[in-house]
Each structure stands twice: as structure tokens, then as C-alpha cells.
Amino acid sequence: MPKIAAGNGIVTQVNVFTTTPDRQQALIELLTEAANWARPTPGWMSASLHRSLDGTRVVNYAQCRDMASWEAVMERLKAGNFFERNKRLGTAAPGLYEVVYTLDR
């Protein structure tokens, strides 16, 4: 189960895809395939797919051990042609982050 914690050097990509209700499920299935394709990359840690309740977005919350691992994951996804395939199903808005604070019960 993916966990969120600060101060561990993990690189997190939050990618917000804009889509339409009729394409949302197909996008989730393609991103599921992409996550399984990326998984063997050294340093890859997790992917978590989120469906927006209004049907217009999908968020992938993905974790890698460090920036070098992240770059290797990107190369592997490119080799699998996932960036081109994603484009038919939605528009990606990716960003790279570090966790700075968490609060829970």
C-alpha cells in the first residue's frame, strides 16, 4: 500500500489528466497498463490512480526513490509509447514534487 511521508527524498509525480466521462475508464485502463509496464524499473515505488467523481479528470500519484529513477521510468514509458497513447484519452498536466508535511489522525 503506497504511503505518504516527508523527508525521505522520494520524488513524487502528480499528473492530473483532463478527460471526458466517456473516456475516463479507458484512460484508467491505459494508466494501469503503464504502471505495470513501469514497475520493473529500478527505484520505481508506486502508482495510484484516482477517478474524479465528476468524470472529467484522472490523477496518477506516482513515487520513485530519487530523480535518476524517475528519469529511467520516463524512458521506459516512452519506449512503450505510453505518452502518445495517453493523448487520445486525455491531456496530461504533470508536476514533480517532494512531500514537505503530512498530518493525520
| List of residues contacting a second copy (CB under 8 A) | 1-5, 11-12, 14, 16, 28, 32, 35-36, 39, 44-54, 57, 59, 61, 63, 93, 95-105
State the Cα–Cα distance between residues 92 and 60, nearest whole angstrom.
Answer: 10
Query: Smaller CB distance to a second copy: residue 3 or 78?
Result: 3
Give min distance, CB of 88 to a second copy, in A. Answer: 20
Query: Smaller CB distance to a second copy: residue 49 or 74?
Result: 49
Contact between residue 30 and residue 89 where contact means Cβ atoms under 8 Å apart: yes
Residue 31 exposed, middle or buried by CB count within 10 Å (0-12, 13-18, 19+): buried
State the Cα–Cα distance between residues 20 and 40, nearest whole angstrom.
Answer: 31
Give min distance, CB of 64 to a second copy, in A. Answer: 11
Give min distance, CB of 38 to a second copy, in A. Answer: 9
